[in-house]
Structure 1
Amino acid sequence: MTKGKMAAIIAALWIAEMTGSFETAMIYAALKALIADFKDPVLVGWLVTTYLLIGAGAAALAGRLGDIYGRRRVLLVLLAVGVAGSLISAFSINYAMLLTGRAMQGLTGAILPLTVGLVRENLPRERVPMGIGLMISGASAGTAGGLVIGGMIVDHYSWHGIFAGSAVFAAVAFVAIWLCLPRSPRVARTAPLDWLGGVLFVPAILALLLAISSGPKWGLFDARTLGTLAGGAALFALWVRQSLRAVDPLFDVRLFRNRQVLVANLTTALVAMSTLQITLVFSVLLQAPRWTMVGLGVTATLAGLVKLPSNIGSLFAGPLSGWLTQRHGGRIGMLIGGLLTSVGWLMAMAMHGSITGIAVILCVISFGATMLFAVGPTILAGAVPPDRTSEAAGMMTVVRQAFLGIGAQLVTLLLATHTVIGPDGGASYPTERAFMLTMGVIVALSLAATALALALPKGAQEDAI
């Protein structure tokens, strides 16, 4: 393979990965405008949660289907649906239409496991680790683009414009993949696919999210709360049973028997619920009006620019995490990343009154978070058989996306525990007390994720190829 061909493949996959991150982050730039239009922070929070939840469902299927029907083909389908969903949201005339388009966009949340698989499929063996690291760094670049470009669009046009922009982005990625990547091989099957086991977890997650969002209104011991939780638990149990019984499961829970796989996914869940909520928390903090006595009252564009240095720094955190994991084991990378994020959130609790201070804090948190984000796939690559790599990457994406959704709803509810209504009687915003409570919970979860790293083999070296 020539260097030019290799560069074209990496660039196309990088653009595709950026698309998913762009669509995840752009909604945060529009939170203030959306809350002003719909008058309900929890309702707006579902635009975040729904996207992440659909992404979790898509990732459960995309990795395995990519292995069977071809990763390039499946990736093109996801991007095409993402374009359609973006256009529906861009031209939406009510909340239901907006939410429908946003749900369709959620399919782009399954891009990462496909790009990781395509890197291994198309690049020479010695180039695979760097290729995977670049895919992880693409997430930081896409997040930066979503916040900065999304903020500029919101400030100079409206929140409808960010969806038009994401449609263009996804269309460019579609063309790049179509032109630069060769067709993926298809794998012959000897047993029918376990479709039921592959999708059962979606209603289970929905039940859990419903309990989290509506439980405070219903009451902790209300029959609806307890029934929803019990239903979700029952569906999870059924899902696990179905996966264990299936000859060819779409999502093989047996992989969790491997200690490294289990620890990597548990850490991912805790990090997704806590420190990966960084954009949600700080977007609200930066854009909340100054009369709240905690917000800095900046525009959506400036809020994105404040986050930009941390996104640029995070471009180097992914390759560094992979380098550390490959040479010293995943334990070191996780410990360093976890400690950085915990320290960063503690700094945020103590000094959040200036734009400069927040920019520095974001750099610390984001660097650590990206290290944690990047170390997981490298651990999995060394812990599972080669023919299960894409499936394992998809499994981790499921865990991350699902708990990102749970975390987003949790943070939204925590921020809503103490609010103040504007002088004009319009939208309500979190108080400093609400932010301190939210950050305190995030610190506790980040420290728990850091402690989990101690369960990894000391000095074990993972082979990312």
Structure 2
Amino acid sequence: MHGAVRHGPAEPGVLVDTPRPTARTGGVVGILAFAGIVAAITQTLVVPLIAELPKILGTSSSNASWVITATLLAAAVATPVAGRLGDMFGKRRMLLVSLTPLVAGSVVCALSSSVVPMIVGRGLQGLGMGVVPLGISLLRDVVPAEKLGSSIAIMSASMGVGGALGLPFAAAIAENSSWRVLFWVVAALSLAVGALIRFLVPRDAESRASQGFDVLGAIGLGIALVCLLLGVSKGADWGWGSGTTLGLLAAAVVVLLAWGRWELRVEDPLVDLRVTARPQILLTNAASVLIGFSMYAQSLVVPQLFQLPEGTGYGLGQSMLAMGLWMAPSGLMMMVMSPVGAKLSAARGPKVTLATGALIISLGYGLAVPVIDGGSTWSLLAVTLVCNTGVGFAYGAMPALIMGAVPQSETASANSFNTLMRSIGSSLAAAVIGVVMAQMTTDFGGHALTTAGGFRAAMLIGCGVALAAAFLAALIPVRAPANKDPLATEPSAPEAATAQA
């Protein structure tokens, strides 16, 4: 029997039944999950090199930090654009297009000997980060309805797996071989992903290429995001009260307001703000910012606790490679628990799964607070396992909530915007947790190190933010669909009337 998904080919809010594929799709899900893993590895690739980058590139630490910032900014700008183009020209096609700068950027980085080409290469890699939301969106077109929830959970978990495996993988290569090998390996993996998608992944639903692309909207959103993320990520270096930081943040607000006005007036907007304003999507995106924050906060704290000297009384004195190996199981936990989250979504709805995931994250942070003083590698491992179990639940639920509230013709755009919200949350976490840990320091052998109290404060902040995410998730108004499709949610009558107006 054919499953059914509810979507509207033209008007958001006007939902109709459409047949879904019934072919075996395990291989397709595996390929798309592999693409997500490669994208996640790319993001964590330079972490083991951070301390060595100034020497490798012959530059200052401040200039070398742009190697990380460039990827963040490029990904933020490219992700919503890739999503919109995926809805217009096909998600599979845009997946292949997104892999092109990923390969090119990896090659440029591998051949770099100075900071400028390395920044350019990392920026190109960032342009390929739309792979994950495009892959999740493509699942709606090529996976049978009865397997869609579990497939989304697996694809979402791939980000955690890639991030967790990428750290020891990169550390092992950096310690035992040339750092250039890291980028050659990623280039080869990206080419392999492209070949698999090209020959084994079926084409998705009909595109909307006849509609126009909102160039001005893309430029405006790009400028606003660059100003916002640049101000947030560099505020600690430049000073939070500096004219540059405040000017960038103010410019972000002004440009976002102007961009919103434009998007409401243009016929084919980059982001349909009227659809985005639906309570289900709005609250899911708001919760996504908080989930992104709480997910990233512990990834800033735990690696430092693993690597700080034992003489501090709370550090565990592990090497970079050992730290990566201790943290790797937490990423695998996301993959192991993804079917559990999918079953919970099928039984109770993705809203419950999102709230449950947020509560589990908060529990992980709560467990971390008492073990900071006198903890062990095993206790920190337990903290990361609990936190990433919650992240796995939440990451599988958010795309399901988003796709259940938008027509199929806007799936990639809506998913990409949700991914952007998580990225903004991660950037805010880096800024807030960075300030906390920088302010609460002690002198240790002539070096300023974060105190145990600073780490506890960071964990408590993460716990509070996760609880706030659970509260927002509980407020998401989702109506149970009649056809049992875990992604299909009926809009309320006022919303449908507004959409048809």
> 2:117, 2:324 → 1: CA distance?
26
Gap change, CA 1:111 and 1:438, over 3 Å in 2 = same
Contact 1:198/1:251 (<8 A) preserved: no
Is residue 2:412 matched to residue 1:390? yes
Q: How does 1:272-421 map to 2 (within 5 A)?
A: 272-352=292-372, 353-419=375-441
Alpha-carbon distance between aligned partners in 2 of 1:208 and 1:429, rounded to the nearest angstrom = 28
| Equivalences, count | 462
Give me the whole-angstrom Cα distance separating, in 2, the residues matched to 1:254 and 1:458: 18
Contact kept, 8 Å, 1:45 with 1:409, in 2: the verdict is no
Q: CA deviation at 1:52?
A: 2.9
Alignment of 1:132 with 2:160, yes or no, is no
Q: Is the 8 A contact 2:69 2:233 kept in 1?
A: no
Q: Structure 1 residues 220 and 185, CA, compared in 2 at 3 Å: closer, same or farther?
A: closer
Counterpart check, 1:196 vs 2:216? yes
Are residues 1:19 and 2:41 paired?
no
**How far does residue 247 in structure 1 lie from its aligned partner after superposition?**
0.7
Relative to 1, partners in 2 of residues 1:338 and 1:111: Cα closer, same or farther, differing over 3 Å? same
How far off is 1:258 after superposition? 0.9
Cα gap change, 1:319 to 1:19, in 2 (>3 Å): same
Which stretch has the larger CA shift, 18-27 or 32-41?
A: 32-41
Q: Tell whether 2:450 aligns with 1:430.
A: yes
Structure 1 runs of 4+ with >6 Å offset:
35-42
Residue 37 of structure 1 and its aligned partner are, at CA, apart by: 6.4
Among 262, 265, 270, the residue aligned to 1:250: 270
Q: CA deviation at 1:191?
A: 4.2
- Normalization by structure 2: what TM-score? 0.83
Structure-2 residue corresponding to 1:464: 487
Structure 1 residues 2 and 379: CA distance shift in structure 2, 3 A: closer
Further displaced range: 291-300 or 386-395:
291-300
Aligned with residue 85 of structure 1, among 94, 100, 105? 105
Structure with bigger gyration radius? 2
* Larger deviation, residues 123-132 vs 364-373: 123-132
Greater helix content: 1
1:7 to 26, 29, 50: 26
Between the aligned partners of 2:312 and 2:188, the Cα distance in structure 1 is: 37
CA–CA separation in structure 2 for the residues paired with 1:221 and 1:123: 50
Cα distance in 2, alignment partners of residues 159 and 417 from structure 1: 33
Rate the CA distance shift 1:239–1:117 in 2: closer, same or farther, 3 A.
Answer: same
Q: Distance in 2 between matches of 1:46 and 1:421?
A: 28
For the residue of structure 2 that corresponds to 1:383, the secondary structure is coil
Contact 2:87 2:410 survives alignment (8 Å) = no
1:122-159 superposed Cα distances (whole Å, 9 cap, x missing partner) = 23333333322221122232223212212211222354
Q: Given residue 359 of structure 1, which amino acid in structure 2 is its aligned partner? A: L
CA contact (8 A) 2:280 2:478 kept: no
The Cα of 1:178 is off from its aligned counterpart by: 1.7
| In structure 2, C-alpha distance between the alignment counterparts of 1:49 and 1:346, rounded to whole Å | 31
Residues 350-372 of structure 1: per-residue CA shift (max 9 Å, x gap)? 21331111101100001011211
Aligned-pair distance for 1:66? 1.3
C-alpha separation in 2, matches of 1:201 and 1:57? 7
Q: Distance in 2 between matches of 1:22 and 1:408?
A: 19
CA deviation after TM superposition for structure 1 residue 183, in Å: 4.2
The superposition leaves residues 329-358 of structure 1 with CA deviations (integer Å, 9 ceiling, x where unpaired) of 233212221111112112222213311111
Could you tell me which residue of structure 2 aligns to residue 445 of structure 1?
A: 465
Normalised to the residue count of structure 1, the TM-score between the two structures is: 0.89
Cα distance 1:422–1:77, how it changes in 2: closer, same or farther (>3 A)?
Answer: farther
Q: Note if contact 1:28-1:283 (Cα within 8 Å) is conserved in structure 2.
A: no
Aligned residue type for 1:446: A
CA distance in 1, matches of 2:79, 2:237: 32
Amino acid at match of 1:385: P
**Corresponding letter in the other structure for 1:17:** G
Q: 1:219 and 1:207, CA in 2 relative to 1: closer, same or farther beyond 3 A?
A: same
8 Å CA contact 1:197, 1:250 repeated in 2:
yes
| 2:408 partner amino acid | P
In structure 2, how many angstroms separate the alpha carbons of the residues matched to 1:210 and 1:250?
Answer: 22
Q: Tell me the CA shift for residue 306 of structure 1.
A: 0.9
Distance 1:185 1:314, change over 3 A: closer
**Distance change in 2, residues 1:202/1:289 (3 Å):** farther
Q: Could you tell me how far apart the structure 2 residues matched to 1:152 and 1:328 are?
A: 42
Q: Show the 5 A alignment for 1:42-191.
A: 46-184=66-204, 187-191=207-211
Letter paired with 2:129: G
Higher mean alpha-carbon deviation, 323-332 vs 43-52, is at: 43-52
Q: Any stretches of 5+ residues in structure 2 without a counterpart?
A: 1-20, 489-501
Measured after TM superposition, the shift of residue 196 of structure 1 is 1.3
2: distance between equivalents of 1:90 and 1:346?
A: 41
Q: Which moved more, 1:326-335 or 1:378-387?
A: 326-335
Aligned amino acid, residue 254 of structure 1: R
Alpha-carbon separation, structure 2, partners of 1:46 and 1:291: 32
Partner-residue secondary structure (3-state), 2:46: helix
- Is residue 61–residue 250 contact of structure 1 (8 Å, CA) maintained in 2? yes
